[in-house]
A = this chain, B = another copy of it.
Amino acid sequence: MLKIRYDRKIVADSREYAAKIAGDIYNRFIRGFSTDSIERTTLRFLGVEGATSLGQPKVNSVVEKVKKNSDISLGVLLAVAREMAVSGADFQSAVNIVSDGTLSSIPPSREALEKAKNNIKRLAVLKYEELAGKRRKREEFKKSFQPQKTPLRYLIVATGNIYDDVIQARAAAEAGADIIAVIRSTAQSLLDYVPEGATTEGYGGTYATQENFRIMREALDDVSKKLGRYIYLTNYSSGLCMPEIAFLGAFEGLDVLLNDAMYGILFRDINMKRTFCDQFFSRMICAVSRIIINTGEDNYLTTSDAVERAHTVLTSLFINEAFAKIAGMKPEYMGLGHAFEINPQIEDSFSLELSQALLIRHIFPKSPIKYMPPTKHMTGDPFYSNLLDAMFNLASKMSNQHIHLLGMMTEAMHNPLIMDRYESLKNVNYIFNAASSLASQIQIRKDSLINRRAQEVLSKAYELLQKVQKEGLDNAISNGEFADIKRYSDSGKGVEGVYKKGKEYFNPVFDILLEKTGGER
């Protein structure tokens, strides 16, 4: 790879600070807490699915009823276990009883409760094995194809209708895409439940649902076989249902999930505590299922200036990495994200972008870095905007990014038309091929702008990490250190769904995940 110069000691120190920052959050906000969505995920993990007669997802109904009729701080599963113990019902029936709100008020005997809890534990082990089996099958399927050359070509489909999405995804794969991301309807992250079934509506995308995942996965597996090239599937887990969607993604064989430790806080005003807990749980699921997560630092540069605030991206990457480690993720699955968002009218903008791209690629050498295309400075002139994408493609190839999001020349206009996506692939295919070995033929001069800029960004990121560590991440966020947005620990959406675990909190799924991931905590 094209080498740049920067101080490796600062990198090591930065990592240490980041570990402290995330560790502090883990101790103060994550360990000892659960959330509505974690509880719901636990139920889904154990096979609870479908909706109530009122159309509410059953897992939501169960959690709500436990909150109303019992003590959620002990975990939904304890309520279910109790019902099993009292009424002798099996797990599913007990879940239904809890969901109906007719759970018995008689306290169970200690032994019956132990037995019920043991049954649930056994079920959890079984279900874990089932999930692991799925994961293994997928890995085998993947291995039956030649691995693709990086950067991988990542394309979005966003028609708002899952069936149209399938048409577009197939066309994109045929034209050369390696990864298909199905964009979600705007504001799904604010829904405190996961919609059900195949959906044909939404703004800017359609809903992330289990059925939609299945439909698209099936289509892509089919195309993969046809093309002899494995097509990765991506969706979004960020939002109030982060762990649930992570589980559904894992269950339906998704390869990549958008999953950031802070995105929901900053960009969706979701409560901090809620997000910290949820990201942890969801990442444990990703860890055991070997799902690549994608973080969202690219978003910072849509609200902050990409030159002035470049270092905030790097700072946040260190923190996201530290959180992922706590959840037990391997670097190979940390798709840390950054972006090509410098104002194209700035002199030497390409050198600055290249510098940043190389720096990040160097600091996280094992990670499948996700590189986002220009968006903010794209204009209504597609001929021109296509050129920004070309230079982005060149920067990506020269710095050998891993997951390369294809830019759209109509970014400033609309969700991509079928032909926009096709042109985007022509663009990337041309540039990647034309500059195939360019990076290996050149060296960066010691005293160059590229090197100076890299060192500058790194130093600033380091300073910010120091500062954040001193203040605590929660306070740093309240001070607007990231994305120029301020959020507070007690406000934001979903705050009511976070609770301190009681002493008798029961959740074998949680336990298995903690055990299997063995994160640095």
B-contact bits for A406-443, CB 8 A (1 contact / 0 none): 00010000000000000100110011011111101111
Question: In the complex, how many angstroms separate the beta carbon of A223 from the nearest chain B beta carbon?
Answer: 24
The docked-state distance in angstroms from the alpha carbon of A391 to that of B390 is 9
A345 cross-chain contacts in B, Cβ below 8 A:
433
Residues of chain B within 8 A of A348, CB atoms compared: 433-438
How many monomers of this protein are in the complex? 2
A345–B387 alpha-carbon span in the complex (Å): 18
Cα distance A327–B29 in the bound complex, in angstroms: 84
Is A350 close to B, CB under 8 A? Answer: yes
Across the interface, A351 reaches (CB within 8 A) one of B349, B386, B427, B435, namely B435
* A344 interface residue (CB < 8 Å to B): yes
Question: Does A437 contact B449, Cβ atoms closer than 8 Å?
Answer: yes
In contact, A437 and B384 (Cβ under 8 angstroms): no
Chain B residue numbers with a CB within 8 Å of A440 are 445, 448
CA of A440 to CA of B444, assembled, Å: 9
A433 near B383 with CB under 8 A, answer no
* Residue in A349, A381, A387, A440 with the greatest tally of chain B CB atoms within 10 Å: A387
Interface 1/0 per residue, A332-354 and B, CB below 8 Å: 00000000000011111111000
Contact B350 A391 (CB under 8 A): no
Given A442-B442, A442-B444, A444-B442, the answer on whether A426 and B384 have CB atoms closer than 8 Å is yes
Selected contact of A441 from candidates B381, B386, B434, B448, CB within 8 Å: B448
A204 — which chain B residues lie within 8 A by C-beta? none
Within 8 A of B (CB), among A335-394: 344-351, 381-384, 386-388, 390-391, 394
- A382 vs chain B, min Cβ distance (A): 7
Determine whether A30 belongs to the interface, using a CB cutoff of 8 Å to chain B.
Answer: no
- Determine if A272 is an interface residue (Cβ-Cβ < 8 Å): no
A356 to chain B, nearest CB (A): 14
Name the B residues within 8 Å of A80 (CB-CB): none
| Contact residues in B for A344 (Cβ distance below 8 Å) | 430, 434
Q: Are B347 and A433 in contact (CB under 8 A)?
A: yes
Most chain B beta-carbon neighbours within 10 Å: one of A383, A387, A441: A441
21 contacts between A and B (CB under 8 A): A344-B430, A344-B434, A347-B437, A348-B433, A348-B438, A350-B438, A381-B423, A383-B426, A383-B427, A384-B423, A386-B386, A386-B387, A387-B390, A387-B426, A390-B390, A391-B434, A394-B394, A437-B449, A440-B448, A441-B449, A442-B444
Given contacts A351-B435, A383-B386, 17 further A-B contacts (CB under 8 A): A345-B433, A347-B434, A347-B436, A348-B435, A350-B434, A382-B383, A383-B383, A383-B409, A384-B427, A386-B386, A387-B387, A388-B430, A390-B390, A442-B442, A442-B443, A442-B445, A442-B448
